[in-house]
Each structure stands twice: as C-alpha cells, then as structure tokens.
Amino acid sequence: MDEESMEEEGGGGGCEAMMDDQNHNNWGAGGYGRHLLGPAAAPLGDRLLRGAATGPQAEPELPVVPEANGVLRGCEPGGAAGKGGAGALAAAININASTSKFLMNVITIEDYKSTYWPKLDSAIDQLLTQSPGDYIPISYEQIYSCVYKCVCQQHSEQMYSDLIKKITNHLERVSKELQASPPDLYIERFNVALGQYMGALQSIVPLFIYMNKFYIETKLNRDLKDDLIKLFTEHVAEKHIYNLMPLLMEAQSTPFQITPSTMANIVKGLYTLRPEWVQMAPALFSMFIPNILPPAVESELQEYAAQDQKLQRELMQNGFTR
C-alpha cells in the first residue's frame, strides 16, 4: 500500500471523505458507513474535543472485516442458503464492485508496519518532546484517520502494543536523564518532565479515541489515559520519589528556594499519580491539597500561632515587610 492511500482524505473529516478513500470504498452506499461512523462524521476538532471532554460514548459495532483470503466473516454459504435459498446464496457470492475494491485494499500487517505505524510513531515523538506553546507540524486529522483505519482493519492489538512500547521507551530515557541531574536542578527538571508528559497526553489520548473505545475499553476493560498515566508512575515517579521528596521538604523549609508554582505543580501531580504518597509528607501536601490533615482543634491553637509567627519571621528575613 503506498503513501497516497493515506493522503486522499485530507480534504475533510466527513462520512464521504472517510468512506470513499482507498481503504473504505463507499461503505456507506446503503447507510452502513454512517451507522458505523457516528460522531466521526462531525468536524475533527469537534470530535476530538467532545471525546476528550465527555469521555467515551456508546458506539455501534465495528464493521465485518474481510479475512486475508478474501472471504467476509459471517458470510458462510450454508447460512445464506438456509435463509434465502439459491437467491440468497448467489447474492452472498456476487459481491458488488465497491466491496471487491475494498477486499483488494485490505491493510495487511506489513502495510501497517511499513506505512501506518511510522506515521503514528513520528507524531507521538513530536507530541512527547514538544515544549508548551510549540507549534507541531503534523496533521491531526491524518493521524486520527490513520488510527481509525487500523482499528477497522483489526490492528488494534498491535497498535496498542506499539504505543505502550513507544511511550515506555521514552519514559525510561526521561528517568535516566533525571538521575543524572544535579540536586539544584532536580526539582525543576522533574517538574518539566511531569508537565511535558501530561500535556502530551491531552493530544495523544484523543487521537487514539477509536482504539480506546473499540479495543481498550471493550476487550481490556481499561482506559487509555489511565494506562498512560500509570506508565509515568511506574517508570519515572516511583523511581525518583525517594530522592525527590527530601528535596521538596528541604525547599519547603527554605522559602522561595523554588517557585511556589513549581512546588504546587509537583505536589498536585504526585497526588494525582498516587494519593498514598501523602503519608510521606502530610504537612507538605496539605499546603496544596485540601482536607489532607485532620480538622483543627482548639487545644492546638497556640501551636498554629507559633507556626504562623515562624513563617512571618522567615518572610521578613527574605526582604518581605508587613
């Protein structure tokens, strides 16, 4: 399969554009394509935003996909003959021209590996390494369409495996870079790595929404975003939490050693990744996460006042006045 087969539908995200491309070939001649696509008929931006904002919706089943030998699943001659006699059998055998064209353009595993996955791989690379505000020169509609085709052609399992492997390798490199960071840059670099990854997920998850709906949720009973957040927890956060937490506590005791926004981002991020990490430093987490500590009691009011006075002295020592 050549590159042109993936470029033909760049003109739009509607049903006809999707059905008339070289791999879908007029599926909707009898309304079948529209039944399948559902929200895919809307503009891409609307679809992605709706998918990201509201989560997965109930979708119709994927289409019957041709086997490699050119026989459609579910079209056994015996079944057709039993229901409609010779006429029904003839109708099942007499595949129309558009279906024949579809059969000749099946995406084989070789096509997937040589043409489709390389495009996805390149786009994921750019999304994982972009800085906030960077312009990414990729076609989101083309990538979305690429994922859709691969799902329809039964490559979801391979695509999910490739995606997990790709992101795991990236996170292992990130972890090694953090390990080589000096202590005075460690907190800031962890904050950059965490923010960059969570930002990338805001694009990666919607682009793979069809794989999420028809494979991960349906067959694995999981969610893509949860799986990708878990990867960061396992390959980065868990490996660095025992080095990171003492530095955060030291920075807390030395006002303005790091910016308040950096401290807030990291603490909230760690709480999102694994809430039980609160037990490592309850006082630190309570500064940014509500209801971490037990309610205040009257018998400890003097202790609270002493803590406030200490903070005020530290602020004055650093040039702040009342």
For residue 206, the model assigns a pLDDT of 95
**Residue 85 maps to a domain:** no
For residue 296, the model assigns a pLDDT of 57
- Residue 56 CA: distances (Å) to CA of 37, 157, 189, 266: 14, 19, 34, 29
User: What residues have CB less than 8 Å from 244, skipping those under 6 apart?
Assistant: 186, 187, 190, 266
Q: Tens of pLDDT along the chain (322 residues)? A: 444 444 444 443 333 333 334 333 333 333 333 333 344 434 444 444 444 444 444 444 444 444 343 333 433 344 444 445 555 544 544 445 444 444 447 899 999 999 999 999 999 999 999 876 676 777 888 999 999 999 999 999 999 999 999 999 999 999 999 999 998 899 999 999 999 999 999 999 999 999 999 999 999 999 999 999 999 999 999 999 999 999 999 888 877 788 889 999 999 999 999 999 999 988 889 888 888 876 655 566 677 677 667 766 765 665 655 5
Note the pTM of the prediction, 2 decimals: 0.63
**Residue 44 maps to a domain:** no
Q: What is the CATH number of the domain that holds 286?
A: 1.20.1310.10
**Residue 171 maps to a domain:** yes
Number of structural domains (the chain) is 1
Containing structural domain, residue 256: 109-315
> How many whole angstroms from its chain centre is CA 125?
13
Residue ranges in 58-116 assigned as alpha helix (H) = 77-93, 97-104, 109-111
For residue 314, the model assigns a pLDDT of 64
**Residue 188 maps to a domain:** yes
- Is residue 66 helix, strand or coil? strand
**Residue 91 maps to a domain:** no
**Residue 88 maps to a domain:** no
Burial 270-287 (b: 16+ CB within 10 A, else e): bbebeeebbebbeebbee
- Helices 238-253 and 183-207 cross at an angle (nearest 10°) of 130
**Residue 256 maps to a domain:** yes
For residue 191, the model assigns a pLDDT of 96
